[in-house]
Amino acid sequence: MEVATVPVPVHVNGGKAGILAEDHFGLMAVIDVEPLPTVVSADDLVVGDEGKKQNGREIVLGRNVRTESLEVTEPDANDEFTGDKEAYMAGVLARYRKTLVERTKHHLGYPYNLDFDYGALGQLQHFSINNLGDPFIESNYGVHSRQFEVGVLDWFARLWEIEKNEYWGYITNCGTEGNLHGILVGREVLPDGILYASRESHYSVFKAARMYRMECVKIDCLITGEIDCADFKVKLLANKDKPAIINVNIGTTVKGAVDDLDSVIQTLEESGFTHDRFYIHCDGALFGLMMPFVKRAPKVTFKKPIGSVSVSGHKFVGCPMPCGVQITRMEHVNVLSRNVEYLASRDATIMGSRNGHAPLFLWYTLNRKGYKGFQKEVQKCLRNAHYLKDRLCDAGISAMLNELSSTVVFERPRDEKFVRRWQLACQGNIAHVVVMPSITIEKLDDFLNEFIEKRSTWYQDGQVQPPCIAADVGNENCACALHK
């Protein structure tokens, strides 16, 4: 599928905006291999407990490992006259653009829909649009996009079934900000509450616990990655004297597992927690926008006793900049907001200044696709995810796909270069592909063919065996020598 691109306006000819043609600078040398980051030699480092290896790359806390950087240089006195610097910068940007095109083609691991066309919004790049403060109360800064933001929020409120005058929400910088906000609202509503989250929750949930200095109890998961309600119950009963703030995953990051919201609520009720003694935040960063369109999926709705839902805008929707949506109940947000005279607005958001472009992008896509469009895309993603899983299994490769998910978990490829080429996200012995609308069957075939071919060389002499991943995906999904 063609990747839509927004033309990059560059300043040439004394600042007159022109559109950079694909090959304006004759830079056809396509950067097909990203330079591998240099591995810092062991003698260079003092690797204490903080030194961690990830994707074969050394991560050392307290030291910035630079693989490459583009220096910022002072303009020469005569640059304005010669235009040398403009030409240099245009060249750098053109090369960078080519890298982006190439990297976009070989992207499978992160749940980002890279297929969009926002050409129509190019005209708005010249404005510093900022929705600082509350979406529903105008500040004195007039260059904002609140009318679009509220339109988008209303759309999500309808999706998650809460009346316009009963919800409050805003467009965030990312799914993480949604989690930080949801958990903060929970803590303000139940100040001495304990935060419960499954072990496979996103790291932003545990970050919130640290930031807010909340007591946090980790709940075990089933092999699918879903929260284990039996363990949840044991831990609730051990802390009956304190209210409960629960993070429920609508799609976990690694396995795409959906926590059973109804069972979570039932477990709370059975453990003696009345509705005024718990607060549920639903982390829908990944599937918050997919689940409503999956048949037979449990419903995320404010008709159930939940306090907030958040979703990432740059994941399934697709957006050039990270963003997200957070919706909570109006009654809760009143607990947390303060009036700020300087803003002439209410202060209930985590951030002060807020990206005013993001609402325009979301508004544009929601209008173009609508419920029907999303439904179609979700079905396509689920079909393609099944295709990938089936072909992996046919090739004798361990793989798992959760029922409501488009995240295919499989054996981690042995070669880090291959991992990086396809930008796979890995954890321990497993890797995953999150099938998004931009991932076509052709792309999956390219990946599969390459994987299967490479794999036959990795394991040809029988000296090394493919890893056993039964602990991650269960015996029935593991195709290692022992379990197949």
Ligand X SMILES: *Cc1c(COP(=O)(O)O)cnc(C)c1O
Of 26-34, 244-252, 351-359, 406-414: span binding ligand X (CB under 6 A): 244-252
Instruction: Quickly count: other Cβ atoms within 10 Å of residue 377's Cβ.
Output: 22
Nearer to ligand X, 202 or 455 (CB): 202
**Minimum CB distance to ligand X smaller for 283 or for 411:** 283
The catalytic position among 405, 406, 438, 456 is 405
Sign of CA dihedral 101, 102, 104, 110: negative
Contacts by 42-48, CB closer than 8 A, 24 or more apart: none
Residue 405 annotated in active site: yes
The interface with ligand X within residues 192-211 (CB under 6 A) comprises 202, 204
* Binding of ligand X by 221 (CB under 6 A): no
- Total interface residues for ligand X by CB under 6 A: 16
Helix (H, G, I), strand (E, B) or coil at 168: strand
- C-alpha 288/C-alpha 374 separation (Å) is 12
Is position 324 an interface residue for ligand X (rule: CB under 6 A)?
A: yes
* Minimum distance from residue 256 beta carbon to ligand X (Å): 9
* Amino acid of residue 162: I
Name the residue among 129, 187, 216 with its Cα closest to residue 332.
187
Please report which helix (H) or strand (E) contains residue 214, including its range: none
| Of 131, 253, 308, 438, the one binding ligand X by CB under 6 A | 253
User: Which segment (183-191, 238-246, 250-258, 456-464) binds ligand X by CB under 6 A?
Assistant: 250-258
Q: How far apart are CA 204 and CA 468, in angstroms?
A: 29
Residue 247 binding ligand X, by CB under 6 A:
no
Q: Which is nearer to ligand X, 182 or 356 (CB)?
A: 182
- CA separation for the pair 422, 425 (Å, rounded): 9
174: contact with ligand X by CB under 6 A: yes
**Residue of 13, 40, 39 whose CA lies nearest to 24:** 13
Minimum distance from residue 202 beta carbon to ligand X (Å): 3
Q: Which one, 202 or 357, has the nearer CB to ligand X?
A: 202
Shortest Cβ 390–ligand X spacing (Å): 24
Beta strands 194-198 and 324-329 are unpaired
- DSSP states along 268-280: HHHTT--GGGEEE
CB of 185 to ligand X, least distance (A): 16
Residue 278 to residues 31, 194, 281, 380: CA-CA distances in angstroms? 53, 9, 10, 37
Question: For ligand X, which residue of 169, 243, 251, 359 counts as binding (CB under 6 A)?
Answer: 251
Nearer to ligand X, 31 or 351 (CB): 351
Residues that bind ligand X (CB under 6 A): 174-176, 179, 202, 204, 249, 251-253, 283, 285-286, 312, 322, 324
Active-site residue numbers? 405
